[in-house]
Structure 1
Amino acid sequence: MTQRTDVVVIGGGQAGLAAGYHLRRLGIEYVVLDAQPTPGGAWQHMWDSLRLFSPAAYSSLPGRLMPLQEGQPYPDAGHVAAYLANYEKRYHLPVRHGVQVQVVRDEGRLLRVETDTGIWRARTVISATGTWTRPFLPAVEGRREFTGRQLHTVHYAGPAEFAGRRVIVVGGGNSGAQIAADLTGHAEVTWVTRRPPRYLADDVDGRVLFDAATARRRALDEGRPDTGGVASLGDIVPVPPVRAARDAGLLTARPMFTALTPTGPQWADGTRQDADAIIWCTGFRSALAHLASLRLRGTRGHVATAGTRAADDPRLHFLGYGDWTGPASATLIGVGRTAREAAREIALLIR
């Protein structure tokens, strides 16, 4: 079956929903194709204790404030997933769940989007697939020889399954700090980071991060010196559980190990430690395999862009992958602005 529309949005998480909201306001015909069988994007797969970096009012998509979560100044993942599901329903966004996009091909004037349920032809495509499906594992000597359990952030569900175990948590970002804090009191935790943990000030949250990312992008666009953006402030937002564990002395990081033995990590000085499990909180890469046939990939897997638009193909836009697709565009509060800009550009192109 082949269908046609003006815009195909690939991905029904926060970026895809924000795109849908702005396309709908402009009266543009579109469809959102989402591989997930149910609404909520990647948030429905995150661990229960995960907390946002900002209060609900500062973690909202365009048009609808996120409601407060009772007793939680920083909402958890389940609250965010429910908000996204409600947002999709409230605005009657045409999201088709359980549709796996396989490849996007160039058909001259149109783009051909091949899925496991049929084919779409569109004048433009917005790729909003995020990074959750592409976890990154570093190349560490002996990683395949370790006989314990290894998992990435995406597979972490909570501390119960690690009760009484010796767990190594690798990663000096927010996920590493939150998971290490979550495991304290349940497991014997060793937190490992490439450099000493850099906490933001305790009164800093996502509002400040969004402002810092926006100021950096504005400075670069205007040819002024790089402000450093979020990276200049630190790596870890001390949400309440992280702050409590840190202040109790339970988040003392060790330097990164140089290799893995069958029983655990080994450091440069020869020190070894036995472990039952290693949790790699080592980040993600953009999920862009569906665009491979367009041959647009550049350095570090990114596509050269002008704003959200592919520099070499004005029919293709990117939303929600990080600063290369707009300041703070991988955040709930940040993606709305870039989604609006993409929708406006698309409107000019197709009309």
Structure 2
Amino acid sequence: MDLDVVIVGGGQSGLATAWHLVRLNRRREVPLTFEVLDDRSRAGGAWQDGWPSLELFSPAAYSSLPGWPMPPWRGPGNPSAAHVRDYLTAYEQRYDLPVRRPVAVTGVSGIGDPSGPLVVHASDGDRQAGVVVNATGSWRRPFWPTVPGMRDFAGTQRHTADYTGPTAYDGLRVLVVGGGNSGAQIAADLLPVARELTWATQRTPRYLPDDVDGRALFEAATAAVAGQGGGVGSLGDIVAVPSVRHARDELGLHAAPMPDRLTASGVRWADGTERAFDAVIWCTGFRPALGHLRGVARPNGGVVSPDDERVLFVGYGDWCGPASATLIGVGRSAKDAAARAAAVLDG
């Protein structure tokens, strides 16, 4: 099968790129042929894995992909992960985007060799492509830190990617590790049900002002590109969504220092203090899921790999542009990738 463009990943980044290719094709005499390969069995990207209380940082009106606003959210707070999943599913159907699933991409050959096409190796067969757009995100590659004693701990250890809600932790002694949004939200989720909840962070949590949400984050990132601010990092690390504010202000949620090591029955801090725990949840982030590229150089603030102009990236945060890993922010790098793909193919 020969295609002009293959997009790897059918979550928000892949769908936004596909939408821009559809829009671009309306202006072309010869449309670009393309398809989206997604390794999941259904639409919705990583949002279908979110725990029940997970919500966006922004209202629906400020959480949309290009072309079609997210439908209004009728529940409390901001839209839930399930609402985002349903939106992405409807978005894919609305524009009849050519998504093939479940198709796992295992490799791409021909990178760095302009004499031949790129070959995308996938679970349903190989495809030749003029351009490959990588939009795989990071959810499939959770980062587990190396902490002494992890192998000795007799309780359960899970990562954010495995967390499905508080029910399994009812009455348990739980340690939540991580000072970002996931750590704060999961700690807030567990505080009412756990027998004992400890939230451990490497440094004192930096909450954004309570009136700051995803809109302000996107604006801060955009201003930083124009040299008019310090970017999102200058605002803080944790968006104080309603559940986190409630846990902090009403339930006494506060952070403890990181433990020095795990023991068979719990954890030990550097000062010798020990405490027993039944479970540890590592909210320690993710890394880009790019195993199929095997070390291909990433972009630096754009969408093009330094190794090959035919290899593009969308949705990997600052690699691809400010806020590119968000619903509202991915449209810019998706548009750049679609335009770049057309320019490469037109020679």
Same fold (TM > 0.5) = yes
2:311 is matched with which residue? 316
State which of 261, 264, 267 in structure 1 corresponds to 2:263: 261
1:237 is matched with which residue? 239
Residue 249 of structure 1: how far off its partner (Å): 4.1
Say whether the 8 Å CA contact 1:304–1:312 is kept in structure 2.
no
1:273 is paired with a residue whose SS is strand
- Distance (whole Å) between structure 2 residues aligned to residue 275 and residue 182 of structure 1: 17
State which of 170, 173, 188 in structure 1 corresponds to 2:177: 170
Matched, 1:214 2:193: no
Matched, 1:124 2:131: yes
Q: Deviation string for 1:81-129 (max 9, x for gaps)?
A: 0000000000000000100000000163311000111011100000000
Say whether the 8 Å CA contact 1:171–1:280 is kept in structure 2.
yes
- Distance (whole Å) between structure 2 residues aligned to residue 306 and residue 192 of structure 1: 32
Matched, 1:296 2:300: no
Matched, 1:58 2:62: yes
Amino acid at match of 1:196: T
Residue 306 of structure 1: how far off its partner (Å): 5.9
Matched, 1:195 2:203: yes
1:347 is paired with a residue whose SS is helix
Say whether the 8 Å CA contact 2:301–2:319 is kept in structure 1.
no
Residue 317 of structure 1: how far off its partner (Å): 0.6
Residue 349 of structure 1: how far off its partner (Å): 1.4
Q: Deviation string for 1:198-224 (max 9, x for gaps)?
A: 1000100001101111222232xxxx8
2:7 is paired with a residue whose SS is strand
- Distance (whole Å) between structure 1 residues aligned to residue 39 and residue 140 of structure 2: 11
Q: Which deviates more from structure 2 when the two are superposed, residues 68-77 or residues 333-342?
A: 68-77
Amino acid at match of 1:115: A
Say whether the 8 Å CA contact 2:176–2:282 is kept in structure 1.
yes
Residue 46 of structure 1: how far off its partner (Å): 1.1
1:123 is paired with a residue whose SS is strand
- Distance (whole Å) between structure 1 residues aligned to residue 280 and residue 306 of structure 2: 40
2:328 is paired with a residue whose SS is helix
TM, length-normalised to structure 1: 0.94
2:280 is paired with a residue whose SS is strand
- Distance (whole Å) between structure 2 residues aligned to residue 350 and residue 306 of structure 1: 22
1:144 is matched with which residue? 151
Residue 348 of structure 1: how far off its partner (Å): 1.4
Residue 14 of structure 1: how far off its partner (Å): 0.2
Say whether the 8 Å CA contact 1:7–1:123 is kept in structure 2.
yes
TM, length-normalised to structure 2: 0.95
Matched, 1:21 2:1: no
- Distance (whole Å) between structure 1 residues aligned to residue 21 and residue 116 of structure 2: 20
- Distance (whole Å) between structure 2 residues aligned to residue 126 and residue 320 of structure 1: 10
1:183 is matched with which residue? 190
- Distance (whole Å) between structure 2 residues aligned to residue 70 and residue 38 of structure 1: 24
Residue 64 of structure 1: how far off its partner (Å): 0.6
2:107 is paired with a residue whose SS is strand
Say whether the 8 Å CA contact 2:299–2:313 is kept in structure 1.
no
Residue 73 of structure 1: how far off its partner (Å): 3.5
Residue 265 of structure 1: how far off its partner (Å): 1.1
Q: Deviation string for 1:37-58 (max 9, x for gaps)?
A: 0000000011010010000010
**Which residues of structure 1 form unaligned runs of 5+?**
298-302
2:276 is paired with a residue whose SS is coil
Matched, 1:72 2:79: no
- Distance (whole Å) between structure 1 residues aligned to residue 327 and residue 189 of structure 2: 23
State which of 193, 204, 219 in structure 1 corresponds to 2:212: 204
1:43 is matched with which residue? 47
Pairwise CA RMSD:
1.2
Amino acid at match of 2:148: E
Say whether the 8 Å CA contact 1:181–1:250 is kept in structure 2.
no
1:26 is paired with a residue whose SS is helix
- Distance (whole Å) between structure 2 residues aligned to residue 41 and residue 152 of structure 1: 18
- Distance (whole Å) between structure 2 residues aligned to residue 178 and residue 261 of structure 1: 26
Residue 245 of structure 1: how far off its partner (Å): 0.7
Aligned residue-pair number: 336
Say whether the 8 Å CA contact 1:109–1:123 is kept in structure 2.
no
1:104 is matched with which residue? 108
State which of 133, 141, 147 in structure 2 corresponds to 1:134: 141
Amino acid at match of 1:156: Y
Residue 72 of structure 1: how far off its partner (Å): 2.8
